[in-house]
């Protein structure tokens, strides 16, 4: 594997061992790994839309303290992975199923780097949809954990209209355009802390802003029309399928407003080995709330994984 850059911001955070890898269709991706020595298992961490591996350095460090190695990935179209259209600031995908190519590249990287089994899954937001599909496809993990999973986009009663509009706009050939109401600017630099929907922790939000200011190449803005259409189609398809037969722990902030909370509650009520944990006053990024909240969540995730060793 060819070494790739890893941008530690702020200094002192756990530095990931980053590499360039390629999906089976030739798209270049970036993986980063932490905590190999003495690990009792490996967490495959699938990030959300707009995200990049550096964002999860703290989470990886917390998992390492609990005995787990972590390997994460810049999904296609974001981070330092290959961008997929001329407007590189737009979050874009040709086919939502292409993300499964990235999951396979992540899994192969864990194997090539001799990361210890068993494997476990941790996925956030859009990564929740990607991870759920991967589980349904037989991803070889012993247990899964999700935070704010995108099992439907938080559009409420507007979802049918948004879906219809995305079909029409895609059909007339402008699927690459930014979705209406979104911007090229990355969210954390365009939104003041007081107005953000991600976290109530000022320090963690400042961290995200510092990462974006120092390395804007990691960042993207709003989604393309085609991404919206593909995401809505995939979430609808997933909603009609049964949950996998493995343990699952899902965390949902009580102040979540980015993804659809009803879809999460419905899925977890029907997951035979699933548990839904509500994070009081948590927003979308529950792993980026205050230190006490993060420690509680990470402790529960590690305990759920420990039970399957």
Q: What is the pLDDT of residue 270?
A: 95
Q: What is the pLDDT of residue 195?
A: 98
**pTM of the predicted model, to two decimals?**
0.97
Q: What is the pLDDT of residue 156?
A: 78
Q: What is the pLDDT of residue 36?
A: 85
Q: What is the pLDDT of residue 264?
A: 98
Q: What is the pLDDT of residue 103?
A: 98
Give the domains, in start order, of the chain with CATH numbers: 2-306 (3.40.50.1820)
Q: What is the pLDDT of residue 271?
A: 97
> How far is C-alpha 161 from the chain's CA centre?
26
The string of DSSP codes covering the chain is: -EE-----SSTTSPPPEEEEEE-TTS-EEEEEEE--TT-S-EEEEE--TT--GGGGHHHHHHHHHTT-EEEEEE-TTSTTSPP-SS-TTSB--S-GGGHHHHHHHHHHHHHHTTPPSSEEEEEETHHHHHHHHHHHTT---S-EEEES--SSBS-GGGHHHHHHHHHHHHHTT-TTSBPTT--SS-HHHHS-GGG-SS-S-HHHHHHHHHHHHH-GGG---SBBHHHHHHHHHHHHHHHTSPPPSS-EEEEEETT--SB-HHHHHHHHHT-TTEEEEEETT--S-GGGS-HHHHHHHHHHHHHHHHTT-
Tokens read off for 55: 């964002």
Q: What is the pLDDT of residue 114?
A: 95
**Per-run averaged pLDDT (10 residues), the chain, 309 residues:** 92 92 98 94 98 97 97 98 96 97 98 97 98 98 98 86 91 94 96 98 97 97 97 97 97 97 97 97 98 98 98
Strands 2-3 and 144-147: unpaired
């Amino acid at each position: 594997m060819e070494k790739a850059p890893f941008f530690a911001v702020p200094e002192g955070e756990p530095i990931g061992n980053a590499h360039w890898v390629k999906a089976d269709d030739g798209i270049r991706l970036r993986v980063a790994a932490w905590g190999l020595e003495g690990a009792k298992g490996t967490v495959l961490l699938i990030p959300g839309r707009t995200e990049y591996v550096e964002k999860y350095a703290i989470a990886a460090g917390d998992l390492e303290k609990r005995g787990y190695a972590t390997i994460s990935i810049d999904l296609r179209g974001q981070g330092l992975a290959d961008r997929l259209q001329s407007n590189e600031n737009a979050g874009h995908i040709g086919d939502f199923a292409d993300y499964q190519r990235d999951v396979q590249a992540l899994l192969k990287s864990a194997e090539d780097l001799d990361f210890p089994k068993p494997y476990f899954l941790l996925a956030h937001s859009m990564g929740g949809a990607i991870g759920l599909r991967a589980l349904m496809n037989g991803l070889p993990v012993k247990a899964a954990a999700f935070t704010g999973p995108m099992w439907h986009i938080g559009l409420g009663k507007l979802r049918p209209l948004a879906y219809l509009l995305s079909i029409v706009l895609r059909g007339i050939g402008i699927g690459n355009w930014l979705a209406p109401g979104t911007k090229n600017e990355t969210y954390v630099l365009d939104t003041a802390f007081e107005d953000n929907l991600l976290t109530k922790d000022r320090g963690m939000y400042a961290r995200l802003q510092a990462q974006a200011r120092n390395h804007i190449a990691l960042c993207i803005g709003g989604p393309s029309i085609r991404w919206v259409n593909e995401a809505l189609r995939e979430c609808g398809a997933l909603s009609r399928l049964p949950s996998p037969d493995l343990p699952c722990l899902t965390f949902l902030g009580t102040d979540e407003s980015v993804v659809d909370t009803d879809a999460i509650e419905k899925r977890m009520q029907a997951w035979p080995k699933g548990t839904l944990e509500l994070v009081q006053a948590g927003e979308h990024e529950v792993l980026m709330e205050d230190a006490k909240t993060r420690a509680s969540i990470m402790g529960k995730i590690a305990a759920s994984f420990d039970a399957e060793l």
